[in-house]
Amino acid sequence: MVRTALAGLNDAVFLEAGSGLEAIETLATTRVHALVLDLNMPDMHGLDVLRFLRSHDQYGALPVLILTTRGDDVSRAAALKAGASAYLTKPFMPSALLSSVRELLDARLPRGR
């Protein structure tokens, strides 16, 4: 569903990881422009993945959108405090996800493009 929602991003290449550790391994070998991250994953909580990324300079500016079933204020606040760029809850509107990712990618572009 995420891949389908983001199909509107022209020339985008999508990578998927089935767990937090797999996501970190993929990021270690592949340059990405943004990350959509769930909090509930096998082997490693999404907040731990996010904290790991933010503790390394090469991922400090990487836009990270949290997409999760956890809609409570505590989870949202914890994710934003840990360095999430945006936070959406499931179920989600595909247009909202696409719009959020576009905003994150646009914010990375230099002014005057």
pLDDT per residue as tens digits for the range 83-109: 999 999 999 999 999 999 999 998 876
Please check whether residue 5 lies inside any domain of the structure. no
Q: What is the pLDDT of residue 111?
A: 53
List the domain range (segments joined by +) for residue 71.
Answer: 33-88+95-103
Please check whether residue 52 lies inside any domain of the structure. yes
Q: What is the CATH number of the domain that holds 44?
A: 3.40.50.2300
Residue 66 clears pLDDT 90, i.e. is over it: yes
User: What does the alpha-carbon distance between residue 90 and residue 61 come to, in Å, rounded to a whole number?
Assistant: 25
* 8 Å CB contact between 90 and 66: no
Question: Considering its fold, how many domains does the chain have in total?
Answer: 1
Categorize the per-residue pLDDT at 11 as very low, low, confident or very high, splitting at 50, 70 and 90: confident
Q: What is the pLDDT of residue 14?
A: 87
Please check whether residue 70 lies inside any domain of the structure. yes
Residue 54 clears pLDDT 70, i.e. is over it: yes
Please check whether residue 21 lies inside any domain of the structure. no
Please check whether residue 25 lies inside any domain of the structure. no
The model's pTM is: 0.90
